[in-house]
A and B are shown apart, each in its own frame.
Chain A
Amino acid sequence: SQQGEEDPQALSIQEGENATMNCSYKTSINNLQWYRQNSGRGLVHLILIRSNEREKHSGRLRVTLDTSKKSSSLLITASRAADTASYFCARGPYSGAGSYQLTFGKGTKLSVIP
């Protein structure tokens, strides 16, 4: 399977704390994306990091990528109750004609307690 592993599978923290989620993958990548999914709803794209980048920031999000270890991490700083969601990493090859065949990791379910 090309699915990556994410850990932890579940994470519960207090509001204001930082949350770190990790993603490992097996095949080489051009880039890696992180998505958020609120309970039973659609996915929202958070951030994309390219294979030649090591770190990227977007607001309270910080993503790192280590291609030698085939791993990435997502850090959410100063968490809020609204950050409660499942977080997935995703990567995939170009599948032709402008489309991409995304494969998602197993996800981390984050609970932020007010």
Chain B
Amino acid sequence: DTEVTQTPKHLVMGMTNKKSLKCEQHMGHRAMYWYKQKAKKPPELMFVYSYEKLSINESVPSRFSPECPNSSLLNLHLHALQPEDSALYLCASSPGDRSTDTQYFGPGTRLTVL
């Protein structure tokens, strides 16, 4: 299984809502990533988890809260978002053993904040 799954595919939320994005992989990877991608722009790294520990937070606002409950799951909790947070949110994973820095991406969640 070389797939990273993300749910939901689409999400529309108001600025006062609380929602969560979910990412799952069953490749035994120990590094997982959240990226944000605005239209016609490249993905930008938000968070990195290594062995279920947050290792990198790229100065992301606190209205985005990541969580890694176990080695297969990665969540991104959203609260009090702004319209400018509308974007494609991509999850990725990599082995975590320095064998390769290739990352495997999920299909993304298209988020619209009203």
Contacts and interface: CB of A to CB of B under 8 A. Distances in A.
Q: Indicate, yes or no, whether A interacts with B.
A: yes
Contacts of B88: 40
A98 B98 CA distance: 5
Given A40-B110, A42-B105, A43-B43, A99 B100 contact: no
Given A98-B51, A98-B95, A100-B94, A33 B105 contact: no
Interface in B53-96: 53, 55-56, 88, 90, 92, 94-96
Interface residues of B, number: 35
B101 A103 contact: no
B7 interface: no
B112 interface: no
Contacts of A33: 101-102
Contacts of A40: 88, 108, 110
Contact of A48 (B44, B49, B100): B100
B30 interface: yes
Given A40-B110, A95-B56, A99-B33, A88 B50 contact: no
Given A41-B108, A42-B90, A101 B50 contact: no
B23 to A, nearest CB: 11
Interface in A45-99: 45, 48, 88, 92, 94-99
Given A40-B88, A42-B4, A100 B101 contact: yes
Contacts of B110: 40
Interface of B: 4, 6, 30-31, 33, 41-45, 48-51, 53, 55-56, 88, 90, 92, 94-98, 100-108, 110
The 7 closest A-B CB pairs, nearest first, are A98-B96, A97-B50, A104-B42, A99-B31, A100-B101, A42-B105, A43-B105
30 contacts: A33-B102, A40-B110, A41-B107, A41-B108, A42-B107, A43-B92, A45-B102, A45-B103, A48-B101, A95-B56, A96-B50, A97-B31, A98-B30, A98-B31, A98-B94, A98-B95, A98-B97, A99-B33, A99-B49, A99-B55, A99-B94, A99-B96, A100-B94, A101-B45, A101-B56, A102-B33, A102-B45, A102-B101, A104-B42, A107-B42
